[in-house]
Amino acid sequence: MKGRTETTKSGCGVCGATTARELYTARDWLGNSDAVFIVAECEGCGVLRTLPEMTDTELSQYYPDDYWGEASEPGGAWIRSSQSDKIQFVKQCRAGGGRLLDVGCGSGFFLRALDASKWDRFGVEIGKAASEQAAQALGHDHVFTGTLIKAGLNASSFDVVTLWSALEHTNEPRANLAEARRVLKDTGTLIVQVPNVASYQARIFGGDWSAIDAPRHRYHFTERTLGKLLSETGFKVTRITLFSKSHNSHALRQSLKAKLHGDGLGPIGRVSFILSIPFIKPFDWAMTALGHGATLTVAASAV
């Protein structure tokens, strides 16, 4: 029942609280399971969580082999275009080069898009196939297969650490940010990108929002909950954007398509979706400009 209190065993990975209030339910967006999952608000810190709790091993069954990469190796032009938002954000942070670690690097597309003459590029990736693809491009000594916490990287060894669409996948967001702070230099910069659960899309679609991506997304952040966690793990927020050319309008399109096609509207739903297509990007740009964008990207300095 909506609003009921859920009790968990291991507790919130942000604050440790073991109770959360159910907000809505969500199904596996990729259709790997017919199970229904719960999105609940932690009663300790307010972060949203996907329940029930799952171990990393249990969660791994919900990831298709190509989740973090492409079925075939893309060309350099596609890689540069697909990563242009991220590269631009790094430049805006006045990070011009050095040692960079991308946590959850997938097949290494972001790392490959960086200027190799300015950046010594490293990655951490749990998916074995994606990790191997990244290692072939960047060198096996530059990519670790596993989690950031288990990588055992040297302290104060990176100028920049990035988590592009990665923090929401972990069962241990606080521990991962603490480890990111440990491996960053005292002058280093952290960049985190997550879906914005305070966005207009999240409010409209709830559990049907594509960026909820249950059960793979374990934690769902707002600017407030992410900012508080960053502050508590040794960072000071220096830049925030809610704009994403890659994610925002795409998430709206996918969510709207699923909603109109899946509510038993039949041909009416399909026609309604087709008629809406020309308005999706302009509407999303307007809502993002008003401060309700669907993607939260934050830069923070180590303190």
Q: Does residue 261 surpass a pLDDT of 90? A: no
Q: Is 96 helix (H, G, I), strand (E, B) or coil?
A: coil
294: left (phi over 0), alpha (psi -120 to 50) or beta: alpha
pLDDT for the residue numbered 69: 64
Work out the end-to-end distance of the chain between its first and last CA atoms, rounded to an integer number of angstroms. 43
**What's the sign of the alpha-carbon dihedral 259, 261, 266, 272?**
positive
pLDDT tens-digit series, residues 102-136: 999 999 999 999 999 999 999 999 999 999 999 99
Report the pLDDT averaged over residues 46-59.
Answer: 96
CATH assignment of 76-243+297-302? Answer: 3.40.50.150
pLDDT: which is higher, 94 or 69: 94
CA distance 122 to 162: 10
pLDDT for the residue numbered 72: 74
CA distance 74 to 137: 12
**What's the sign of the alpha-carbon dihedral 286, 292, 295, 296?**
positive
Q: Say if CB 138 and CB 114 are below 8 A apart.
A: no
pLDDT for the residue numbered 73: 85
E-only strand ranges, the chain: 5-7, 19-27, 36-42, 48-51, 98-103, 119-125, 143-145, 158-164, 184-195, 219-220, 235-241, 295-302
pLDDT tens-digit series, residues 273-283: 999 999 999 99
Report the pLDDT averaged over residues 208-230.
Answer: 98
CA distance 71 to 223: 34
Structural domain boundaries of the chain?
Answer: 5-55, 76-243+297-302, 248-288
